[in-house]
Amino acid sequence: MNLLLRFCTALLLLAPLCPAQDDAAALRAAHPEWKLVFRDEFNGSSLNPNKWNRIEYLPGKVPDWRRYQSRDEELVTLNGDGTLSLWGKRGRYTSQDDPEGKAETYACGGIFTDKTFSFRYGYVEVRAKLRGARGAWPAIWMVPLKNDWPQSGEIDILERLHNEAGIYQTIHFNNAEGRHQSISTGGGGKARFSSEADMNAFHTYAVGWTKEAIIFYMDGRETLRCPRQSNNPNWPFSKGNKRFYLLLDMQLGGNWVGAIGDLGEGAEMQLDYVRVYAAPGMYSITKPAKNKKRPRRR
């Protein structure tokens, strides 16, 4: 009996030393053709313009996610510790909603690769920490360069509403009848934080994209698998030669998330790294045109 007790105690002591489940590593191992082709560890003192660009203010009506996007530098900050923060705040900023910054407004920071990098099939992993607020809507997502939503497809690696314990990992597309359809973790299942402390910690959010499936991960564990719909002629993720680009942004308000509450010092998505793996010939890196001078906070 004592021998059995000592054996069980030894197993409990060794358990923390055992490697955690890593379904994402298994996927990458199954695709040795995928190489690290895009990365940013955010170690510099300014945003790398060869990797990222900022929002452009457009005329006319825009979708909810874009309404408060801003080009102001104060909303995208390098923190000096190898992280970058995307902020959602209220104040005197320029934004898509108020390009000239004439009045106090909500404003959000975002970074994008539509002018620098796109790919088809591979693996994306982002390590991030979220500080939420009522009405906050941070997102890590992908759409094609030629975007005709929803029929062209959308891959949401992470969305979170307010301070919810669950996250949303989702694909959007048209079904066989040509109507919008989505498949999502829905803020539940395995894509959840285990505690308040866990909610305020860094986590990895990832997606694997193959011809046969789109697979989502959180901290290396598979959270959702979306097999190719072979009977759906509108399935966009293995159709043609569309390449998708990355969007990482803080968002505020809108029909889905609802009213914006007190943001305090600001809602924040803090990024530790972004890494993309793809096969040769399945990605594009473009040297961006020289950026115009960005407006500063008024």
How far apart, in Å, do the first and last CA atoms of the chain sit?
74
Q: What is the pLDDT of residue 12?
A: 42
Instruction: Decide: 179 and 170 in contact? Cβ < 8 Å.
Output: no
Q: Are the beta carbons of 228 and 171 closer than 8 angstroms?
A: no
CA distances to 30, 205, 215, 241, 293 from 211, rounded to whole Å, are 14, 20, 11, 11, 40
d(CA 279, CA 122) in angstroms, rounded, equals 7
Which residues lie below 8 Å from residue 71, measured CB to CB, with a gap of 6+? 54, 55, 57, 94, 294, 295
Report pLDDT for 100.
Answer: 94
What's the pLDDT score for residue 290?
A: 66
User: Would you say how long the chain is, in residues?
Assistant: 298
- 145 near 199, Cβ under 8 Å? no
Q: What is the DSSP letter of 131?
A: E
- What is the model's pLDDT at position 291? 52
Residue with tokens 């005709």: 148
The pLDDT assigned to 20 comes to: 56
The pLDDT, as a whole number, for residue 297 is: 45
Give the pLDDT of residue 27.
97
CATH class, range 40-285:
mainly beta
Reduced to 3 states, what is the DSSP secondary structure of residue 50? coil
**Mean pLDDT by groups of 10 residues along the chain of 298 residues:** 46 43 94 98 95 94 96 97 98 95 95 97 98 97 94 97 97 97 94 94 98 98 97 94 96 96 96 98 86 48
pLDDT of residue 295: 46
In a 3-state reduction of DSSP, which class is residue 283? strand
Q: For residue 78, what are its two tokens?
A: 């390098």
Element (H, E) at 140: strand 139-144
Check residue 136 and report its DSSP letter: B
Cut 0.85: pTM above it: yes
pLDDT for 261 equals 97
pLDDT at 292: 52
